[in-house]
Structure 1
C-alpha cells in the first residue's frame, strides 16, 4: 500500500511540476511577458507605417488581373472608352500593415504591433478612416485617419480593448463615427465624435479614445459590419456557413440610437439596448453592404479564394437576398472586407496583405480601392441587357 501511494505521489508531483513549468513559460512569472508573442514579426519601427507592403508594380499587376475592377478603380469610363484620370500612385495605401503603434491589452504598455488586420472603411468629412484588429489578440484595436485629398496618414486612434471592428460608418448629421464591437458577450456598436477624433493625440496620453455612445444590440448575434443610410444604421451579421442578416436601427434627430434603456444602465444614457425595427436575410459570407441610388451592393468573401460583389435592386423592405436575384455578380480579389459608398464612389478594404494572410492569399491588396459607381452601374445595366 505504501509503495503504491509513493508511486502515485511521485506521479502527481511530476505532473504538477510539468504543468507549472508549462504555465510559467506560456503566461510568464506573475505578469504579461512580451516573450509570449515573439511569433509576431519583429520591427524597428517606432511609429505606425504609412508606406506599402508591396511595390506599385506588384499592386498594378494584381489589380490588372481583374480588368473591370482595374478600369473602374482608375475612373476609366469603360463604356465610352475614356482614358484613366488617376494613376496607381494616387491610390491610398492601407496604413499599419508593417507596424502599428498601440497598447498591449494585457499590461496597457505602448508597443508596436505587426499583426494588424484591416476590416472597415468610411469617409468622414475630409478624412479617410479605416479600422484594424490584432489577429494575435494581444493589442488594442485601432483606427487609421488619413487625409482624403493627400492620402497622408494623420494619426492612429487606439480603441478600448480588442473589438473585431468589422465595420465603421459615419453619420454626417451628428458628426460621429460608428464602430462595430462586442461587449458582455453581445453585439455592440459604439460611436466617437469627430471633434474627439480631431483632438486625439495618443502620444500625449497613451490612452484609448473616449466614446460618445455605446449600444448593445438585440436580435443579432454579432455586429460584423455596418453602414449609415437615411437616418438609420444597418448592422450586419457575417455567417460563413449559412444565411446572414442585416438589421436596421433608427437614429433620432440628435444621432442617438432609438431603443430601450438597459435597466442596469438607467443612469448612463450612453448605454442603450436597441431593438432592430426591421431585418433582412442575406447571402452567406457577406462582409459589407452599401446603398447607391436604386441599388444595394453586397460584398461576399471568406478565405483565400476570390471575393464577389453582388448588385441588387434596392428594396429596404426586402426580406431575403438570393444570389439568383442579383442584377450582376463581379469577381474581386480575395479577402474583401467592408465596402462603403460616399459621393458616388464605392470604397473597399482588403485584409489579404495583413501578416496573417500574406502566405495564403491568392492575391494581395495593400491599398484602399474606390470604384466609380456610375460607371459600375452602367456596366451592370449593359450586362443585364446583353443577357436578356
Structure 2
C-alpha cells in the first residue's frame, strides 16, 4: 500500500472572502476574545480511516492567539468536507471564528463482512460476501501451507468468487476490497479468516455388519480428507431421513432403533465442519431383530396356556417344550396374529418347560429374536368353582363386618338368611383354568335359577355366568362365555337370557342354560350366536312391561336409558326402540316394581376420598302416562338408602330386592360384602308419609 503524505493547507482568509467557500449556515464560535492568529502545533496522528469510520482529531493541538493577549488550544472548532463513505484522498476543513485550516485524510474501503459459502462441489467452492459501494474489485487470498501465509488466489469484480481444489480440501480465505480513484488504488484491511471446504467424495461401501433387537451396526469405506461422517436414518423405508449421529470413525452403531422395525440408512462425509458435507452414499435397507418374547404360562386341567404380548414386526413365533425326561423340541409355529396357545393332554404331576423365539421375515431374510426366558409349569388339579363365602363364613362374621356395623340401613334391613353367597370369588373354573380374580357384575332371576355374571379382573379368562338354584341357593353350573367383556347387564324375558357385551346385547335361549345345568360338569360353554348392536355401551339392563330396558354408566355426566320391544320371527330376534329416559350419573343397575317405582343402584369407586365415590339406592316414580314422543321423565328422587360400597345390579324376586356387590373382588374396598344381599322390598319403598329428597351418600 502506498504511504500517503499529509498535506497541510493553512488558509487565513478574512470572513468577507469566505462566502464562496463556506456554508453561510455555519454557526459562529461562542462569544470569546477575537482570534488574531492560529497555528497547529501538534498534528493528528490518525490520517487514514476505514469507510464508515468517524473522524478523530482529538489529539490535535490548534493553538490560538487572541486580541486580549491570551493563548488557548482551540477545541470547539467546526469540521466540514468529510465524507466517511467516499473512498480516496479528502481535504477536511476545520474552522474557528474567521480562521479555517484544511487537512488531508485518506478513506480506505471497509472490512469485508458476512463471508459465506454459496455453494460447493467435489472440485470447487463459491464464496459470497456483502457488497460494498464504490468498490471496483475484491482481492481474495488463500492460505498456503508451503509458505505459511495467505497468498493472492485471485480477484473478483463482484461479491462472489469461485475457488478450485481437490475433493475434501479444507480452505482458508481472507478478502479485502479495492477502490480506485483517479488511477490510485485504495485497499482495505483484510477480512476475518473464513474457513470452507470442497465437498468430500460420496461415501462408498456402506453396509450392515450386525443387527440386534435394539441396534444396527454400520460400516463404510474411508473417504480421503474427510473430517467426519454424518449418519441419516429413515423408518419403515420412508424417504424422510433424519440425522441420527456424527462420527470420526468409519463405523457407527445405531442404539436408538426400535425392535422389529425396518430402516434405511445413508452416510455422507464432511470436511472441517458438518456444514460442508458431501453427497450421500447409496442407502442400505435393514431391520432390527424382533424383541425377545415375554412368555407366560398358566396351568390348567391337564393343559397349559402359553401367552405373550404381540411383538412388533413379528411374522411368526416358535414355541419349544420339554418334559422332565426329554430335551427341548419345537412344539409349534404360530402366525403373527396369534399370541396364545393351549397345549393339552399333559400328565398330572409332570413338570414341563417352555421357551419361544420370534421371527421376522423382512425382504426375504428371516431375523430372529433372542431366546425367551424359560417358563416352567407343574400340572396339578384345577379346583372346581368355589361356592363357599369369600369373607364371612357365618352370620357372626357377617355381623362383625364394617358394612353391617357402620351402615344403619344395611344393619337394620339386610336379611342374612335370604341372602346368597356369591360363587367364584375364591376360584372359578373357566374352561379348565382357574381364575382367582372374578368380579361379580349383573344378576337376574329365571323360573328356576339365579344368574350372576362376572368378568376376570386379570384379563386372562373369559367372562362367566354362575347358575344357582333359586330355591336352594346351590351352585349348579359355571357357564363360560366366548367373550372377555364386563357383561355388566343381564336379564331374563321369559324365553331368553339377555347378556350385555360392549355396545351389544346377546339373547341366549333359556334352553341353553338348562342344558348347561344338566351336563353337571365343572364348566360348560355356550355360544353367543346373536349380537344386536345398540350404539350405546350396555352397562345395565332389566326386563319390564314386556320391554328390554338398557342404559349406560357414566361417572361424570347423565346418560340415557332406552326401552326396546323384542320381536321374534323364525328364531330371528330384533329390537325396536320405544322409550327414552335421562338417567343420573353412576347407575350400575335398576329394577321396576309392580306399582311403577324404579329403583336405581348407584355406586362408584372403592372408598371415600376417590373422585365420584358413591354407594346408594335411589327410588323414583316415573310418570309413564305423561310422555312426549317416547320421552319419559324420571322425576325427582322419592327416597334414598345407604348401601355398602360397590353395589352393582339389582333384581326383585317375590317380596325381596336383591343387591349384588363387587367389593369382595377388591382387597382395598371399604365395606366389603361377599353376598347378594336380600332386603324386604317394603324397606326400600316409601311408607305412607312423604320422603324428603336425599343427597348422595358418600361416607
Partner of 1:367: 675
Quick check: 1:191 aligned with 2:507? yes
Residues 216 and 271 in structure 1, CA contact (< 8 A), matched pair in contact too: no
Q: Which has the higher mean CA deviation after the structures are superposed, 6-15 or 232-241?
A: 6-15
Q: Which residue of 1 aligns with 2:292?
A: 21
1:46 lines up with 2:317 in the alignment? no
Instruction: Establish whether residue 60 from structure 1 lines up as the match of residue 399 from structure 2.
Output: yes
SS in 1 for 2:467: strand
Q: Report the equivalent of 1:107.
A: none
Are the structure 2 counterparts of residues 206 and 119 from structure 1 closer, same or farther at C-alpha, using a change threshold of 3 Å? closer
- Answer whether contact 1:122 1:347 (CA < 8 A) is retained: no
Measured in 1, the distance between the counterparts of 2:255 and 2:544 equals 67
For the residues of structure 2 that align with 1:251 and 1:271, how far apart are their CA atoms? 7
* Equivalent residues of 1:212, 1:270 under 8 A apart: no
Which residue of the partner structure matches residue 599 of structure 2? 297
Q: Which whole-Å deviations, capped at 9, do the CAs of 1:298-349 have from their partners, x for residues lacking one?
A: 1111101441111111334464547xx1011111111111111222321111
Q: What is the Cα deviation at residue 138 of structure 1?
A: 1.7
The 5 A counterparts of 1:188-267 are 188-200=504-516, 208-211=525-528, 213-218=530-535, 220=536, 222-252=537-567, 254=568
Point out the structure with the larger helix share.
Answer: 1
Of 481, 493, 506, 1:159 maps to: 481
Aligned to 1:199, the other structure's residue is in SS state helix
TM-score, structure 2 normalization: 0.44
Structure of larger gyration radius: 2
1:63 positional shift = 2.5
Q: 1:311·1:327 contact (CA, 8 Å) conserved in 2?
A: yes
Q: 1:179-200 deviations in whole A, cap 9, x for unaligned?
A: 1113xxxx11111122211112
Residue 8 of structure 1, CA deviation: 3.9
In structure 1, how many angstroms separate the alpha carbons of the residues matched to 2:512 and 2:531? 15
Please report the RMSD computed on the Cα atoms of aligned residues, expressed in angstroms: 3.3
In the aligned structure 2, how far is the partner of 1:196 from the partner of 1:269? 14
Residue 308 in structure 1 maps to residue 605 in structure 2: no
Alignment of 1:116-135 (within 5 A): 116-135=438-457
Structure 1 gap segments, 5+ residues each: 75-87, 104-109, 257-267
Shift of 1:147: 1.0
Separation in structure 2 between the aligned mates of residue 50 and residue 311 of structure 1, nearest angstrom? 32
Which has the larger strand fraction?
A: 2
Structure 2 counterpart of 1:72, from 375, 398, 413: 413
Tell me how far 1:72 sits from its aligned partner: 2.6
> 1:210 and 1:249, CA in 2 relative to 1: closer, same or farther beyond 3 A?
same
Superposition pairs of residues 366-385 of structure 1, within 5 angstroms: 366-379=674-687, 381-382=688-689, 384=691
Task: Provide closer, same or farther for how the CA distance between residues 236 and 130 of structure 1 changes in structure 2, counting only shifts above 3 A.
Answer: same
Q: What do the CA deviations read for 1:64-118 (whole angstroms, capped 9, x no partner)?
A: 43232333322xxxxxxxxxxxxx3552100001111113xxxxxx311111110
Distance 1:24 1:147 in 2: 40
> Structure 2 CA distance, aligned partners of 1:234 and 1:247?
6
Q: How much has 1:54 moved relative to structure 2?
A: 0.9
Structure scoring higher RCO (CA < 8 A, sep ≥ 6) equals 1
1:138 matched residue in structure 2 = 460
Does the CA-based 8 Å contact 2:602-2:616 persist in structure 1? yes
SS at match of 1:276: strand
Distance in 2, matches of 1:112 and 1:8, equals 47
Separation of aligned partners in 1, 2:546 and 2:523: 34
Q: 1:65 to 1:198 in 2, by over 3 A?
A: same
Find the counterpart in structure 1 of residue 643 from structure 2. 332
Preserved CA contact (<8 Å) 2:478 2:522 = no
Q: Secondary structure at the match of 1:368?
A: strand
Question: Is the partner of 2:461 in helix, strand or coil?
Answer: coil
- Give yes or no for contact 1:49–1:99 (8 Å, CA) kept in 2: yes
User: Partners of 1:121 and 1:96 in 2: how far apart?
Assistant: 14
Tell whether the 8 Å contact from 1:45 to 1:99 is kept in structure 2 after alignment. Answer: no
Which residue among 86, 92, 98 is the counterpart of 2:426? 98
Secondary structure of 1:92's partner? Answer: strand
Q: Cα offset for 1:32?
A: 2.4
Q: Greater CA deviation, 27-36 or 228-237?
A: 27-36
Partner of 1:358: 667
Contact kept in structure 1, 2:461 and 2:484, CA below 8 Å: yes
Q: Tell me if structure 2 keeps the 8 A contact 1:119–1:350.
A: yes
Indicate conservation of the 8 Å contact 1:310/1:329, yes or no: yes
The Cα shift of 1:130 comes to 0.5
CA distance in 1, matches of 2:381, 2:499: 30
